[in-house]
Chains A and B, each alone.
Chain A
Amino acid sequence: MQTAEKTLDEILALAAAHFKVPRERLTPDGDFFKALGIDSLQTLDLLTKLENHFHVELPDYELQGVSDFRTLAGKIQARL
């Protein structure tokens, strides 16, 4: 199983590429809604992108209240 740090790093890279935001603007503890400038529907896009990349299924209710990449990475890591 890959490390939590690698998972976090891949999420940051994926989010930056998908929403066309410079990677250096994204920080592990930053608010991804603000950093990516995304709304609720785009959040589902991000979730789908992550599920496809990591080959996991993450129920969207687990994302309620999650707004930083590190916590998101923890949720993904728990299903790898």
Chain B
Amino acid sequence: MQKFKGQTLSWDSKSGIIELALHRKPCNELGSLSLGELEKFATALADLERDAHALIIYSQLKSGFCAGADLRELYQRSQDMEMSEAVRGVRDFLERIHRVLNTLDAAPLTTIAAVHGVTFGGGFELALACDLIIADKMARFCFPELRLGLIPGFGGIPRLKRDLGNAVVRDLLLTGRSFNATKAQQIGLVSQVVAEGETLRAARATAVQLGKFARQTAVTAKKFIKPIPLDELRREIDLFCELFPRPAVQAGLKKFVESTDVQPYLP
């Protein structure tokens, strides 16, 4: 499918560049609907990549790139069933999203996350599956999962560990603090920081440049430099499922979902 317009995302492919646009309000929270459409994209990618050398993922929403997993859906679903059934549901969801992100991670083209605003949790993990991150100077990154008694579940820790030093990973993970694009570039996470509203333009310019090189060489280089940490990714799913039934997690989710605080996103 060359072109698709769904409820949570759309894609199009022109001149060797695929653009995947996220547009689920309020901030591209990843729930079952988004996952279904991401799976559709991952399937379509097998055809799309034949004529493409680059993929750009960006958000059409002003609020940001992606605020992460849809915690309201996660909480509400887990309330309607026995805990053992809820954990099976969580594991199924995680395994499905890991398949999508592993497909993006290994795709034989260069992938660019063009991010702005909130890039939190699962949204940060989506960006980490890409080869390059281009951020506008108002972008903010965070792994807030610990405040819910959880760890990131969409591959965040193994992919962050692949890209950055362990001390930086511990800081991001254990403090749960958010940090801006300048800091992200300083620690080596972001390749370019651009002015507000300029990420898509910068990503497109980069994608055009990538098209000048021999595709097979780029694919070989990517495969050589970017191994997928499959064992750790599997272990992450297991750990997440071990933590999920704990009362602290259920209490954290309840508090988040029912919060009327003015700062519910702040760790």
* Selected interface stretch from B178-186, B221-229, B233-241: B178-186
Q: Are B266 and A43 in contact (CB under 8 A)?
A: yes
Asked whether A57 and B179 contact (CB < 8 A) given A40-B262, A41-B265, A63-B266, the answer is yes
User: How many chain A residues touch B (Cβ–Cβ < 8 Å)?
Assistant: 19
Q: How far is the CB of B141 from chain A (nearest CB, A)?
A: 11
Interface majority SS (helix, strand, loop, mixed), chain B:
loop
* Interface bin, chain B: 20 to 34
Residues in chain B near residue A52, CB distance under 8 A? 137-138, 180, 182
Asked whether A59 and B180 contact (CB < 8 A) given A40-B266, A41-B265, A44-B140, the answer is no
**In the complex, B175 has a CB within 8 A of chain A:** yes
Q: Are B262 and A60 in contact (CB under 8 A)?
A: no
A39 to B264, CA, bound (A): 9
Q: Are B117 and A45 in contact (CB under 8 A)?
A: yes
Residues in chain A near residue B262, CB distance under 8 A? 33, 39-40, 43, 67
Residue of A nearest to B142 (CB): A60
**In the complex, A77 has a CB within 8 A of chain B:** no
Q: What is the interface of chain B, defined by CB distance below 8 A to chain A?
A: 27, 63-64, 67, 117-118, 137-140, 142, 175-180, 182-183, 261-267
Q: What is the interface of chain A, defined by CB distance below 8 A to chain B?
A: 33, 39-41, 43-45, 47-49, 51-52, 57, 59-61, 63-64, 67
